Amino acid sequence: MTETIASRADVIVLGGGPAGMCAASAAARAGSDSLLIDENSQGGGQVYRAPPAAFAETSPGAFGPDHAIGASLRLALADSGARTAFGCRAWSVSRDVGGAGFRVDVCDDNGLKAWRAPALVVATGATERVLPFPGWTLPGVHGLAAATVMLKAQKLLPGERVAVAGCGPLLLAVAAGIAKAGGKVAGVIDLASVSDWLRVLPGALSRPDLLARGAAWVAGIAAAGTPYLRRHAVTAALGDDRVSAIALSPVAADGTVDRASQPLRIDCDALVIGHGLVPNCDVTRILGATHRYAPADGGWIAVRDGDMRTSIPGLYMAGDGGGISGAAAAALQGELAGLAAARDLGALAAQRHLDLAAPLRRRLGRAMRFGRAMAGLMVERPGLVASIPAETPVCRCEDVTRAEIDQAVAEGAREVNQVKAWTRCGMGPCQGRMCGDTVAAVVARLVGGRSAAGAFTARVPLRPVPTAQLIGSFDYADIPIPRPAPL
């Protein structure tokens, strides 16, 4: 491997969404040398993902309210004095050997580099849960989160007639976004019923502005005459080489598909579907922080205190990666994490820290009530997991089916890593990121719960790194040849 000389910072922040940007800004303003690392070319994360710098708004505000929030966070970050490393993929994290702190290995267009810091704020956000169904691997089927990237950043419609399916606020945001951009929504298919939405209303009232925005989305969908099917699930994506239609069936509250009723059919050339968000805690798991399984928070989460400290000194987790609670809460958690890191490093006096943190905590309480209400719509539906047909591939990379997973358990696999070893499920290039949560949910049903089923061991590389980049460029003449061993 090429030698990498580690540069130093006081605080490294991994991930440039609202949590990461606010963490890096807060730590820098408090006097710490903070460095934000993100693989994208600009800050924003998924929720505030910016269009390419070469794309311009035709009029101020044309990119929508989320773009404006993202722009203000990017401005605050630039003003804070925090250093940034965008276009930079963190592929390894480790405890710093021979010193207290952490090492982050990254690669960018210039090759490999390493950073060291006594404090690490993890702000890696969430990944989307998409529970498998027949045809979900067909071209033209995308995640709801993918659709938001297309709409917000790439300025691309997912298709000409798009079916929008799944659950949670993203469902409405994407359907409304497609319509607003001039696209055609073939139908909205929601796992939730009206009463499910009404149940989260009290929590959602904590942010009347966001609630009003959601209501406008629903009104827009209704005004366009778009079919809105509640308590329904997509049971198949149909088509030979690409999706051309979907089949739908009613579901029970827990997601169990009602196979007795005649399935409905909607013609479409794209399906965007998502079943909620799962906290991305690879980094804190690799580093060995204490985690627990918290279904209401979206899955496995790092245990943390009110200042976002994990069980490992110097390691903080902010934003959705620590439990799904939405963008507004993520920004505040990031700020709290950045301040706590600065305080723990001695850059910020204890009393000053308390003064700065107190108002943030109050605002966080409000933001959390809204975010948690929305998270309630995105929890895993056990009945939908149970309804995955036997012949459906669960692992997209290796085409491992539900039946193969069940068989591995029947033959004695007790947890997901044994299933992985026996079936290759989770061994493909995505490294189990797409199937990991589903496999665990499938196995959990057979072995007595999520804690027993466990999770795929988190490993580096966090993202695939081309071997050529790891090796670097060298001449054969430069390779040191060890002296032969004495005979």
Does 399 interact with other proteins (rule: CB under 8 A)? yes
> Which residue, 32 or 438, has its beta carbon nearer to other proteins?
438
Residue range at the interface with other proteins (CB under 8 A); choices 44-52, 225-233, 283-291, 447-455 = 44-52
205, 102 contact by CB (below 8 A): no
Shortest distance, CB of residue 242 to other proteins, whole angstroms? Answer: 5
Nearest to 287 by CA among 459, 418, 160: 459
Q: Which long-range contacts (CB under 8 A, 24 or more apart) does 445-448 make?
A: 445/382, 445/385, 445/386, 446/406, 446/409, 447/409, 447/414, 447/415
**Pair type for strands 111-117 and 6-8:** parallel
Shortest distance, CB of residue 431 to other proteins, whole angstroms? Answer: 9
| C-alpha span between 403 and 42 (Å, rounded) | 42
Does 129 interact with other proteins (rule: CB under 8 A)? no
Instruction: Indicate which single residue of 18, 143, 250, 322 sits in contact with other proteins (rule: CB under 8 A).
Output: 143
Backbone torsions φ then ψ of 105, nearest 5 degrees: -100, 135
Q: Residue 300 CA to chain centroid, in angstroms?
A: 13
Kindly list the distances between the CA atom of residue 481 and the CA atoms of 350, 473, 477, 478, 484, in Å, as whole numbers in the listed order. 55, 17, 9, 9, 9
Does 60 interact with other proteins (rule: CB under 8 A)? no
Tokens linked to 321: 């990666």
Q: Binders of other proteins among 158-177, rule CB under 8 A? A: 159-160
Q: Binders of other proteins among 62-121, rule CB under 8 A? A: 62-63
Instruction: Indicate which single residue of 4, 31, 33, 51 sits in contact with other proteins (rule: CB under 8 A).
Output: 51
> Which residue, 316 or 456, has its beta carbon nearer to other proteins?
456
Q: Binders of other proteins among 204-243, rule CB under 8 A? A: 241-242
Nearest to 49 by CA among 145, 177, 176, 183: 145
Instruction: Indicate which single residue of 294, 303, 430, 470 sits in contact with other proteins (rule: CB under 8 A).
Output: 430
Instruction: Indicate which single residue of 6, 56, 194, 471 sits in contact with other proteins (rule: CB under 8 A).
Output: 56
Instruction: Indicate which single residue of 1, 53, 479, 487 sits in contact with other proteins (rule: CB under 8 A).
Output: 53
| C-alpha span between 289 and 92 (Å, rounded) | 16
Residues near other proteins (CB under 8 A), total = 54
| C-alpha span between 148 and 155 (Å, rounded) | 9
Residue listed under structure tokens 């196995």 = 443
Shortest distance, CB of residue 429 to other proteins, whole angstroms? Answer: 4
Shortest distance, CB of residue 227 to other proteins, whole angstroms? Answer: 22
> Which residue, 49 or 381, has its beta carbon nearer to other proteins?
49
| C-alpha span between 12 and 111 (Å, rounded) | 19
Nearest to 46 by CA among 130, 137, 123: 123
Does 434 interact with other proteins (rule: CB under 8 A)? yes
Shortest distance, CB of residue 167 to other proteins, whole angstroms? Answer: 18
- CB-CB neighbours of 18 under 10 Å: 32
Tokens linked to 404: 């193969």
Does 267 interact with other proteins (rule: CB under 8 A)? no
Shortest distance, CB of residue 278 to other proteins, whole angstroms? Answer: 11
Does 55 interact with other proteins (rule: CB under 8 A)? yes
- CB-CB neighbours of 241 under 10 Å: 8
Instruction: Indicate which single residue of 1, 5, 59, 480 sits in contact with other proteins (rule: CB under 8 A).
Output: 59
Instruction: Indicate which single residue of 350, 358, 410, 468 sits in contact with other proteins (rule: CB under 8 A).
Output: 468
Does 182 interact with other proteins (rule: CB under 8 A)? yes
Residues that bind other proteins (CB under 8 A): 39, 41, 46, 51-59, 62-63, 127-128, 137-143, 145-146, 149-151, 154-157, 159-160, 180-183, 241-242, 393, 396-399, 428-430, 433-434, 463-464, 466, 468
